[in-house]
Amino acid sequence: MELLDRIKVSSDVKDIKKEDIDELCRQIRTFLVEVVTGNGGHLASNLGVVELTVALHRCLDMEKDHIIFDVGHQSYVHKILTGRKDSLATMGSIDGLGCFPDEEESRYDSFNTGHASTSVSAALGMEKALRMSGSDGKVVAVLGDGALGGGMVYEALNNAKDLDSDILIILNDNEMSISRNVGAMSRHLSKLKLRPSHIDTNLRIKHIVEKTPGGKGFIRLIQKTKRALKSFVGQKMFFEDLDIRYLGPVDGHDEHQLESIIKEALNVKGPKLLHVVTTKGKGYEKAERDPVKFHGLKNSYSKSRRLPENIMYNQLFGKLLTEMAEKDKNIVCVCPAMTEGSGLSEFCKVHKDRYFDVGICEQHAVTFSAGLARDKIKPVCVVYSSFLQRAYDQILHDIGLTNKNVVLCVDRAGVVDAYGKTHQGIYDIAYLSTIPNMRIFAPESEEDMEKLLYKAIYDIEGCVAVRYPYDQIHNDIKNLFVDVSEKREISLYSKNGDKAILCYGRMVAVAVEAADIAGADVVKLTDIYPLDYESLYEVLGKYKYVVSAEDVIYNGSVGQRLQSWLYENNKNDFKLICLNIDEDCEMKGCVEDILEENGMSKDAIARIIS
């Protein structure tokens, strides 16, 4: 890979001869496939933006200009071109690169991203700061068409002209976010691609003049605005209604064309949007054929990359919900663009008239679910933990305060492999426990999941969150536990010791291993908010030492709330030690690495409780 090996810093790509650019792009794709299929990460999205990223680096001066990648999972080519090629294989490891842009990792990563629809707002703010400091640096926001499902983009687009902005927004249109895109905006972009990419004004005028004696048509036409002309000859354009100059669509895999139009666009005053059409997974047949499967590959540093021995939580959830919906026609499922990842592929096929993929719109998903619940429908809203936090106001105002019977299924709860700080599900208990009328369940076994999902849908009058990790269910330990408090779902794995580990969800399996080492009991919860303190204290009161082990932050955790209750009620029969995720943790490596770093591996817990 002689051409690729010559690139050590961003400016080196400008030294590559024009006739060699296509070969450079081929070498980048070969390198990406080799590294990502071997080590894990986001493959299909990065294969789709090779030419676009190369063109941007050839047009910009990365010493003063900035690129902001929406979500950021498509930034690997940018990492390669900014001197991190030789470290790319370390992505996701403890001391390796992050899988998303990281300002601390490189000065060429202009803004930390990880969630959709934020790039335009960030770009506008950065550009305004540059102008206020006297810099003439340019700012480019690169976002996928899936991000257009999120309302925050429109808030930023609506504000761009008023800010007198000159930013360039590049719309990478591959008709995919993670699952296939849905909604009116996706259909609108498809229509744009079917009509000519530019209105050739000269040809239009010539055509009208030829049919208008005396050229009167030409005189009238020249007096009209560009927008009126486009309305006269074709469909009025959505972006230009927002005073954003629209360019495209153009072939996102023609680097020479991209380079030419980007150079011109950067010199045009005012905000502009370049519509680039790409193929997700470009150049790797398997990824082109199945871009969903190759969106994210399991990180090789994860011990769980091997095939799971047991069913995964999300797979079991999807199976159970599909079966329940077969018996109850009022059960519907709402999901913001995570059909496959949430285990809902079968549900959306079998019950397609009751499955609502609303796109990357978590706020809309929650309030839409609240509207469904208003008229006796049973909505189950499935959202990843780190994405659900975007809908806090809707959970509070539209579900909690009015006590709507909406079931929030919180996938990817707790720590997550390899993806860094932005994708960790360590905050949901903290924010959900502030919601009025909220109940929070944490199933650990298949039996738990079935029982709690049924309870959430049918037995609770109000809002319920069922949270579960991205992990396999350890059915081999469920028979170790005996219920000791039917009222609040407390069960015990007893070693007849004077110390206990308090836990729920994923941490139960870790706690059992730690208990076997240290000779401790394990107290398992499935109903974790609100806590029945008296019942819990009745179980824990016989111990000298109790360690609560939770893969969430301390604030709002079971341990923190129990500590407060013990203090307020002058209960000091046992010593309580809280193990939680440090908010300053780098969150690199696999789940096991993150737990180890936070003192929650089986050996670490055993040492503490011994």
Q: What angle do CA 453, 457, 462 make, to 5 degrees?
A: 120
Active-site residue 18, yes or no?
no
| Paired tokens of 352 | 């397609």
CA pair distance 171, 249, nearest whole angstrom: 9
Residues 532/561, Cβ–Cβ less than 8 Å = no
Give burial (CB, 10 Å; 0-12/13-18/19+) of 97: buried
- Angle at which helices 602-609 and 507-518 pack, to 10 degrees? 50
Residues 111/58, Cβ–Cβ less than 8 Å = no
β partners of residue 68? 141
Q: Which residue has the tokens 């919860």?
A: 525
Q: Which of 362, 446, 489, 550 is catalytic?
A: 362
CA pair distance 110, 104, nearest whole angstrom: 10
Nearest to 90, CA basis, from 369, 327, 341, 418: 418
Active-site residue 340, yes or no?
no
Active-site residue 487, yes or no?
no
| Beta-carbon contacts of residue 440 (< 8 Å; ≥ 6 apart) | 429, 432, 433, 464, 465, 467, 527, 528, 529
Handedness of CA 599, 603, 608, 609 (dihedral sign): positive
Q: Which of 79, 280, 455, 499 is catalytic?
A: 280
Q: Which of 282, 390, 439, 467 is catalytic?
A: 390
Residues 114/422, Cβ–Cβ less than 8 Å = yes
Please report which helix (H) or strand (E) contains residue 322, including its range: helix 313-327
Q: Which residues are catalytic?
A: 280, 362, 390
